[in-house]
């Protein structure tokens, strides 16, 4: 279902990482994943060659996006977050909603799924931090302008936590329901390790089994962003060690 994710492990010594479904073809039996190389495992994936195998992949995990007809839904994606919004856009369009997409990235080279979104959405608004394409600045300005036109029944956002926090702050004064897809550190993805716990409306929730989507106006963003940094020193050491072992494999 749109909104769900998988957890994969590249090889027997690999860590488990969660990745959202960027496209689903139940007839063909395929899924698409879009991965942004930010650390050891995602970089290791990015240098894999066509035809190489991923050792195991567990899913679908989490709950699918609640799809029902709304007058106008605005989907706000940042970075890799635009990809999981694509099947969500198709599902909202299929039930007769008008779908508007606001997508942002640091620069135009990092924009993805623009053409795909244009095929599904009535409008695609692009913003880049450096102004290399579309509106210069962050996605919230384009979102605010679209909200001011009225008629929006729902906002769904996927991307970095800081972006989803400010998207939620932007929609709050308009009273528009805002669904966010949370991305805490995950291990098992089945509600057993507690690694993905988040605080929503003052209650502890597990993003893997209760989410990953929650009401953005009720999320404790500070706790989420603090917990995301729990293993930063270990992640850096692990990535540095991997880079030393693979000098020459990396393009940069």
Ligand X SMILES: Cc1cc2nc3c(=O)[nH]c(=O)nc-3n(C[C@H](O)[C@H](O)[C@H](O)COP(=O)(O)OP(=O)(O)OC[C@H]3O[C@@H](n4cnc5c(N)ncnc54)[C@H](O)[C@@H]3O)c2cc1C
Binding ligand FES by CB under 6 A: which of 1, 37, 57, 187? 187
Work out what residue 77 binds among ligand X, ligand FES, none; the CB cut-off runs from 5 to 8 Å by kind: none
Taking a C-beta distance cutoff of 8 angstroms, is the pair 156, 88 a contact?
yes
CA-to-CA distance for 55 and 10, rounded, in angstroms?
5
Establish if 24 lies at the interface with ligand X (CB under 6 A). no
What minimum distance in Å lies between the beta carbon of 9 and ligand FES? 14
Q: Is residue 171 a contact partner of residue 76, using CB atoms and an 8 Å limit?
A: no
Distance between CA 252 and CA 242 in Å, rounded? 14
* Interaction between residue 6 and ligand X (CB under 6 A): no
Residue 224 region by backbone torsions, left for phi larger than 0, else alpha for psi between -120 and 50, else beta:
alpha
99, 165, 175 from 153: Cα distances, Å: 11, 19, 9
Instruction: Let me know how long the chain is.
Output: 252
- Applying CB under 6 A, the span of 89-97, 134-142, 183-191, 237-245 interacting with ligand FES comes to 183-191
Q: How many CB atoms lie within 10 A of CB 11?
A: 10
Ranges within 81-110 binding ligand X (CB under 6 A): 83-84
Q: Can you tell me which of 20, 97, 128, 205 binds ligand X, judged by CB under 6 A?
A: 20
Name which of ligand FES, ligand X, none residue 75 binds, using a CB cut-off of 5 to 8 Å depending on partner kind.
none
Binding part of the chain for ligand X, among 92-100, 105-113, 147-155, 183-191 by CB under 6 A, reads 183-191
Among residues 15, 169, 188, 220, the one that binds ligand FES under rule CB under 6 A? 188
Q: Does 192 bind ligand FES (CB under 6 A)?
A: yes
Q: Does 63 bind ligand X (CB under 6 A)?
A: no
Beta strands 197-200; 203-206: pairing state? antiparallel
Structure tokens at 63: 């709950």
Place of tokens 């909200």: 147
Stretch that binds ligand X, among 68-76, 97-105, 124-132, 229-237 (CB under 6 A): 229-237
Please report, as ranges, the residues that interact with ligand FES according to CB under 6 A: 186-189, 191-196, 206, 208
């Amino acid at each position: 279902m749109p909104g769900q994710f998988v957890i994969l492990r590249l090889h027997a010594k690999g860590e488990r990482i969660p990745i959202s479904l960027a496209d689903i073809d139940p007839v063909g039996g395929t899924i698409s994943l879009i991965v942004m190389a930010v650390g050891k495992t995602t970089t290791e994936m990015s240098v894999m060659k066509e035809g190489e195998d991923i050792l195991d992949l567990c899913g679908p995990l989490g709950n699918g996006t609640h799809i029902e007809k709304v007058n106008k839904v605005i989907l706000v994606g940042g970075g890799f977050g635009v990809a999981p919004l694509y099947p969500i856009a198709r599902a909202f369009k299929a039930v007769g909603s008008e779908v508007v997409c606001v997508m942002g990235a640091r620069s135009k080279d990092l924009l993805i799924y623009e053409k795909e979104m244009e095929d599904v959405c009535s409008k695609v608004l692009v913003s880049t931090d450096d102004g290399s394409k579309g509106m210069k600045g962050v996605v919230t300005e384009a979102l605010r302008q679209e909200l001011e036109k009225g008629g929006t029944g729902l906002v769904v956002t996927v991307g970095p936590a800081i972006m989803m926090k400010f998207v939620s702050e932007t929609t709050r004064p308009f009273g528009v329901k805002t669904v966010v897809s949370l991305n805490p550190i995950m291990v098992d993805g089945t509600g057993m390790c507690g690694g993905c716990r988040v605080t929503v409306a003052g209650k502890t929730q597990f993003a893997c089994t209760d989410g990953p989507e929650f009401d953005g106006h009720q999320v404790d963003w500070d706790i989420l962003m603090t917990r995301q940094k729990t293993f930063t020193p270990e992640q850096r050491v692990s990535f540095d060690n991997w880079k030393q072992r693979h000098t020459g494999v990396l393009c940069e």
